Chains A and B, each alone.
Chain A
Amino acid sequence: GENVEQHPSTLSVQEGDSAVIKCTYSDSASNYFPWYKQELGKRPQLIIDIRSNVGEKKDQRIAVTLNKTAKHFSLHITETQPEDSAVYFCAASISGYSTLTFGKGTMLLVSP
Chain B
Amino acid sequence: GAVVSQHPSRVICKSGTSVKIECRSLDFQATTMFWYRQFPKQSLMLMATSNEGSKATYEQGVEKDKFLINHASLTLSTLTVTSAHPEDSSFYICSARGLGQPEDIQYFGAGTRLSVL
Residues of chain A at the chain B interface (Cβ within 8 Å):
32, 34, 36, 41-46, 49, 89, 93, 95-97, 99-105, 107
Contact = CB atoms under 8 A, between A and B. Distances in A.
B42 interface: yes
B67 interface: no
Contact of A103 (B4, B43, B103, B106): B43
B19 interface: no
A100 B17 CA distance: 31
Contact of B32 (A43, A44, A97): A97
Interface in B65-84: none
Interface of B: 1, 4, 31-32, 34, 41-44, 46, 49, 93, 97, 103-111, 113
A105 B1 CA distance: 23
A97 B97 contact: yes
Given A43-B111, A102-B44, A105-B43, A96 B103 contact: yes
Contacts of B107: 46
Nearest to B36: A102
A32 B103 CA distance: 10
8 contacts: A43-B4, A44-B44, A45-B108, A97-B32, A99-B34, A101-B46, A104-B42, A105-B41
Nearest to A46: B105
Nearest to A36: B108
A108 B105 CA distance: 23
A95 B46 contact: no
B43 A89 contact: yes
Nearest to B46: A99
B44 A89 contact: yes
Given A96-B103, A97-B97, A44 B43 contact: no
A93 B104 contact: yes
Contacts of B44: 44, 89, 102
A102 B43 contact: yes
Given A99-B46, A104-B42, A43 B106 contact: no
A104 B43 contact: yes
B42 A44 contact: no
Contacts of B46: 99-101
